[in-house]
Each structure stands twice: as C-alpha cells, then as structure tokens.
Chain A
Amino acid sequence: MPCPHAAVNLTPRPLLRLRAHPLRIALVGNPNVGKSVIFGRLTGRYVTVSNYPGTTVTLTRGRATVGAEVCDIVDTPGVNALEGALSEDEKVTRDLIKDGEAELIVQIADARNLRRALMLTSQIASFQLPMILVLNMIDEARARGVDIDSAGLSDELGIPVIEAVAPEGRGLAELRDALTDAGVPEAARGTLTHLQWADETSRRFRTIGPMSLGRFQEWLGRAVREPLTGVPILLAVLYLTYLVVGVLGAQTLVGLLEQGLFGTYLNPWARAAAAHLPSALVRDFLVGEYGLITMGITYAIAIVLPVVTTFFLAFGFLEDSGYIPRLAIFSDRLFRAMGLNGKAVLPMVLGLGCDTMATMTTRILATPKERLIAILLLALGVPCSAQLATIMGILGGVSFPALMTLFGVVLTQMVLVGFLAARVLPGDRSDFIMELPPMRMPRPGNLLTKTGLRVRWYLGEAVPLFLAGTALLFVLDRFGALGMLASAARPVVSGLLGLPPRAAEVFVMGFLRRDYGAAGLFRMAHDGALTNVQAVVALTVMTLFVPCVANFLMIVKERGLRVGTAILVLVTILAVGTGAALNFALGGFHVVF
C-alpha cells in the first residue's frame, strides 16, 4: 500500500502563496459539533452559538489571517450526510462544496461521535478537496470515557487530525498551523459503504472505557425526557421563565423604567425642554401624543426593552442547556396531528424569541409541506418575545383566567389551522427522527454575548421602526387620517370586536412590529382605556394578527410573494374572526374576568 503521506509531503509548502483571491475554507461537520464556535475563534466574528442541531441554517462568511495569509472562512449549516436525502439547510452546505466554493475543508467533529464524523469524512473525501479533521469537545469525550488515538487516525487518513476544546481556544493554534498540511483523506473505497468504513475505522482508533464524569448530566438528560419527571420539569421551566420575563421583566423592570425613569424624569424633562421650541408642530412631533420621545422612545426602551432582555436571557439559557430539543419527544404526537413532527418544536419555540428568525429555522424541517405549515403557524399564533411579555404584563394584572383564555384560544386556533392545513395542503410529513444534544451547563460568557448581541439587534432594528412608526402615526394624525381610519375600521373594531375605535391604530402599529402594537395596547390598558374583556379580545387578535413587516418579508423570501400574500390574508381573516367569536362568547356568557 502506498504511504498515504507521500502525496502530501512531496508537495512544496511555501509560507506564502500568491493567489488570485484569498484561500476559501469551509467549516463543515455534523450538526451541533461547534462549527460556529470555531468560526468565531478564527475570524473574531460572533455567530449565534447554541446547544441544538440547526442553530446555523445559512452560510456565514468571515476573514481570518493564518500565518501571513488571509483566508475567507465560511461557517456552514450542520450536515449528517452530503449524499442522498438532504434537508434544505443540508443542501446549502452540499451546494457550497459541490459548486467549488471551498478550496479547503475543515471538518469539525464531536470527538465522542467519531463514527458519525468519519461517515461524513468519507463523503467529503469524494469531492477530492484537501481537508483537516478537528476533534472538538475532546474534554467531554474523555470525561465520558471516550479516548481517541489521534496520531494513529491522522496516519491512517493521511490528513492532520487536531484535538480541540473550542470554547477555551484549545487546539486553535494547532489548527492554524495544520492548514498547510491539509490533504485528501483515504476513505471508503470499492464495495465498502461509508458506514462500514466508518464503523471499522472508528473501532480501530477509538476506545470507550468507563465514564469518569458526567453522571449528573446523564441523570438530568434522562429526567427531562421521561414523562414522570419530564412533565413537572417542563411546568417548572415554564413557571421560572414566567417569573423572569413576566414578573421581573414585564412588571418590575417595566414599572421602574416606564413610570420611574421615563414617567418621572425623562419625559417631563423632554417636555420642559421642548417648551422652549418656537414651533408647536415640532413640539408635538417630539413630545406630543404621538411624539418621538414620549411615544417612540418610551415604547421601545421602557416597555419592550426590559421584556426582550429578560426573555433573551432566559431563552438563551434554555437554548444552551440542550433542553429545547427534548420537548420534541412530548410534542411529537400533537405536531403530527398538524402535519408536522416533533422536530417542529424548534422553530415554534424559537418563534417565541422572534418569528422572523424562526421562519428561517423552518429550513431544518424535511418537506416543503412541513415548512409551509410551520411558517403559517408561526405567522398566525406564536407570539414573539416582546408580544408575549406585554401579554403577560397586561393580562397578568387582570387575572389568571384571562391569561389562560388567551393562550387557550390561540393554541386551539393553531391546532385547528394546523389540522386543516395538514389535510388541505398537498405533500407529506416526514418521519420524526431527531438527535438529542447532551445536556450542558450553559457557559455564562456565551449566554451574555448572545443576549447582548440580540439586545443590540433589537435596538438596531426595533428602535428605528418604532420611531418611523411614531412619525407615521403623527403624520396620519395631523392629516386626520387616523380619525378616518378609526371610523372606517369602526364596524370591525367596535362592531365585531367590541373595542374602542382607537384600537384600530394599535393594529396598524402591530403590522410595523407586533411588539410595537402590543406596546400600544399596553399603554391603552394602563390608561384605563380597555376593559378586561376588551384587553383579552384585543390581545388575542393582536397575537393572531398579521406578522410584522420583517416577518412578512422573510416569508416572501423563503416561500415567494404568492404564499406570503395568501398567509397574510388568511391570518387576518382568522384573527378578526376569532376575535369576533371570542368577543361574542365572552359577552354571551357575561364573563368579566
């Protein structure tokens, strides 16, 4: 047998090569093995890192300097295979490699899962590109009694094999050094399948001994998925999240900011300062009823920001713990009735953070039908973080039954629509087969970075829209259009839904951003402009109501304008219809909450 090293070693390796463009390196690997962490370490760019398969569903590009050379690095969605049946996010990665957009592949592997990693190595090898194998999370592997003969494996494959613990930066220097040694690996040949080759190779270079650590992890992983312990844990998780977001965020912090900081100091100061302005129009524009400061900034910073921040914190913790995918076991049956499978729990739960992002995550679902149903349900019923918290903020103050009525109605509506969509839409659902990531204690560093970036993203995206929305309302109000809108919408808003006519403008705001509309309702409720029943009806309609502009644009991007418009129309009709029915039912039964 020829020495596998020959081909590699005989090639001259100059320190600096002249290239027409920077060397293009793709980070490829199974889902949830730490590609994004390594990407961040190499390029200095943070991409969202979580503990579930499918965090990355698009390509992220960045630059790194290795030695004296500048390289373009691409972070790719995780793949279990590059051949055969692939999900949409897997195709993104396959196409990148197939189209020759990568000249060098760095395969990242979860060291424990060497066998599956090698199956992928074998498939990458068929593209005949030079590669390196990184055995990430080598510390966790050792703790679980998995030991790998990296040197032996490197000799066998004819490529560098690097051991790494990416979050601590271990192995990164070795990876940079090894880039010049990359080679095309020896892999499955002839009649040997990828699986057989990986089986045999992993058996030769990996030993699995008794576990030395991770007993608690193991226990927790079991406790959360078994029904007897899992259901109480789920309830506890929901309750704790409610305490952090609904009580600490939506009540305590919002109270401090809205009534304290803005109500007592900032807004009175702003009004006093604006009183010196000569123009009444400018004064109103800044501090009037639809003032940029008194409405736009106050909504964005005092009402929504505390809620979004506490939510992202709680949510990031759950993401990094590995808990969310385990919910799929409990929800699989329910989702199957809706033409989906348990895997859909990921986009649905992510939708609680932001429906726009979650719409993109539907790529992890296997069939077009499933993606469409998931996108529809996200647009219809899943309230985003800010909305959820304003709901809790308003209805928490009303009564528990009020809150339960809203969630009950919205959930029932989603199940009904999903059930019908599953029967009406053509196509199939796919099998429920889902990998469960290990339970881990979230790293505070990642949690804070992630929350910080998400809050910054919120501020960058929401504040301008809040301001633009306020300016729009101001202009509409000046030209009397708000009054016209309110009277035009009166038959629906007051007649069908039984709400004050002013609620019409809140729904307009809701289309700009759901949380903006929700904040408007929050204000109305605070001002005593809504009865309890009206609050429940208005919030139910707002929750079911059209997705915000960003979400709509994302739906159009993912599924086309026709589908986007259809969803928009359908959701609007459903929202108003449900609100009307609810208003009628609550009135009929004389419910006052």
Chain B
Amino acid sequence: MWSSDRAHPLSTLRPGARGRVVRVQRDLTSRAERLAALGVGPGAMVRVLQTFPGIVIECDQTELAIERMVGGSIWISLE
C-alpha cells in the first residue's frame, strides 16, 4: 500500500515500520531542534516500536517516547 518513494508522517506508521527521516517540519517552536539533539534529523533511520498509548520509536540506539503531534511533523520514507 505504501510506496517507498513517498514520505509519510511518522504518526501514520504502524508498529514495526522502518524508514529514513526525510525532513522534520520546522515551525515556530524548537521541536525540530530538540529532535535533532536526540539524533532524529534528516537521514536518520527510525523504527516504530509502539503507537498506543503513545508513540515509541527507536533511532540509532535511543528509544524515544513522543506524542502524536510530534510524530506528525517527522516525515519518513519507508524502507
């Protein structure tokens, strides 16, 4: 169903999905900066571990819990 050349917001992915971060939407908040400081920036590989009650992802060797809204601004191209 997903085509691998298209990017999807992380918040729409299912547990187990893996992909590369294409971009992190920048807004007036420091969200993108904070994510980058944790290693989640363009080019990083992420894996979705869990989506309920909150999203948990693995990026490199770090497990991160994030809220849906944050997941919505991380765009992933699936592998």
Query: Which residues 34-79 of B sit at the A interface, judged by CB distance below 8 A?
Result: 34-39, 41, 43-44, 49-50, 52-54, 56, 60-67, 69-70
- Once the chains are docked, how many angstroms separate the CA of A435 from the CA of B53? 16
Question: Does residue A182 face the partner (Cβ distance < 8 Å to B)?
Answer: no
Q: Is the CB of B67 within 8 A of A336?
A: yes
B40 nearest CB neighbor, chain A only: A433
Q: Is the CB of A342 within 8 A of B33?
A: no
B31 nearest CB neighbor, chain A only: A431
If A196-B43, A225-B50, A328-B65 touch, whether A113 touches B60 (CB-CB below 8 Å) is yes
The contact string, 1 if C-beta is below 8 Å from chain B, for chain A 76-100, is 0000110011000000000000000
Query: Which residues 555-592 of A sit at the B interface, judged by CB distance below 8 A?
Result: none
Interface centre among A325, A326, A332, A433 (most CB of B within 10 A): A433
- Once the chains are docked, how many angstroms separate the CA of A113 from the CA of B36? 14
The contact string, 1 if C-beta is below 8 Å from chain B, for chain A 115-156, is 110010000000000000000000000001010000000000
- Residue B61 contacts which of A80, A146, A326, A332 (CB distance < 8 angstroms)? A146
Q: Is the CB of B34 within 8 A of A433?
A: yes
Question: Does residue A436 face the partner (Cβ distance < 8 Å to B)?
Answer: yes
- Once the chains are docked, how many angstroms separate the CA of A329 from the CA of B66? 8
Query: Which residues 426-441 of A sit at the B interface, judged by CB distance below 8 A?
Result: 428, 430-436, 438
Which residues of the other chain, B, contact A116 by a CB distance below 8 angstroms? 38-39, 60, 62
The majority secondary structure among interface residues of chain B is: mixed
- Once the chains are docked, how many angstroms separate the CA of A221 from the CA of B65? 13
Question: Does residue A227 face the partner (Cβ distance < 8 Å to B)?
Answer: yes
The count of chain B contact residues (Cβ–Cβ below 8 Å) is 29
- Once the chains are docked, how many angstroms separate the CA of A44 from the CA of B6? 55
- Once the chains are docked, how many angstroms separate the CA of A332 from the CA of B68? 11
Q: Is the CB of B62 within 8 A of A226?
A: no
- Once the chains are docked, how many angstroms separate the CA of A196 from the CA of B35? 14
- Residue B43 contacts which of A199, A428, A432 (CB distance < 8 angstroms)? A199
Q: Is the CB of A113 within 8 A of B37?
A: no
Q: Is the CB of A432 within 8 A of B37?
A: no
B58 nearest CB neighbor, chain A only: A436
Question: Does residue A407 face the partner (Cβ distance < 8 Å to B)?
Answer: no
Which residues of the other chain, A, contact B43 by a CB distance below 8 angstroms? 195-196, 199
Chain B nearest Cβ from A32, distance in angstroms: 10
Q: Is the CB of B65 within 8 A of A342?
A: yes
A113 nearest CB neighbor, chain B only: B61
Q: Is the CB of B54 within 8 A of A195?
A: no
The count of chain A contact residues (Cβ–Cβ below 8 Å) is 40
Q: Is the CB of B63 within 8 A of A435?
A: yes
Which residues of the other chain, A, contact B60 by a CB distance below 8 angstroms? 113, 115-116
- Once the chains are docked, how many angstroms separate the CA of A336 from the CA of B61? 27
Question: Does residue B3 face the partner (Cβ distance < 8 Å to A)?
Answer: no
Query: Which residues 43-93 of A sit at the B interface, judged by CB distance below 8 A?
Result: 80-81, 84-85
If A80-B37, A221-B63 touch, whether A85 touches B53 (CB-CB below 8 Å) is no
B63 nearest CB neighbor, chain A only: A436
Q: Is the CB of A342 within 8 A of B54?
A: yes
- Once the chains are docked, how many angstroms separate the CA of A227 from the CA of B55? 12
Q: Is the CB of A432 within 8 A of B64?
A: no
- Once the chains are docked, how many angstroms separate the CA of A115 from the CA of B46? 14
User: 6 extra interchain contacts, Cβ-Cβ under 8 A, other than A333-B54, A430-B29?
Assistant: A115-B61, A116-B62, A329-B56, A342-B65, A431-B29, A433-B67
* Residues of chain B having any CB pair with chain A under 8 Å: 29-31, 33-39, 41, 43-44, 49-50, 52-54, 56, 60-67, 69-70
Can you name 21 A-B pairs with beta carbons within 8 Å?
A80-B38, A113-B62, A115-B39, A119-B37, A193-B41, A195-B36, A225-B49, A227-B53, A333-B54, A342-B67, A431-B29, A431-B66, A432-B65, A432-B70, A433-B67, A435-B38, A435-B62, A435-B63, A436-B56, A436-B63, A436-B64
Q: Which 5 A-B pairs have the closest CB atoms?
A: A85-B30, A81-B37, A80-B37, A432-B67, A112-B61
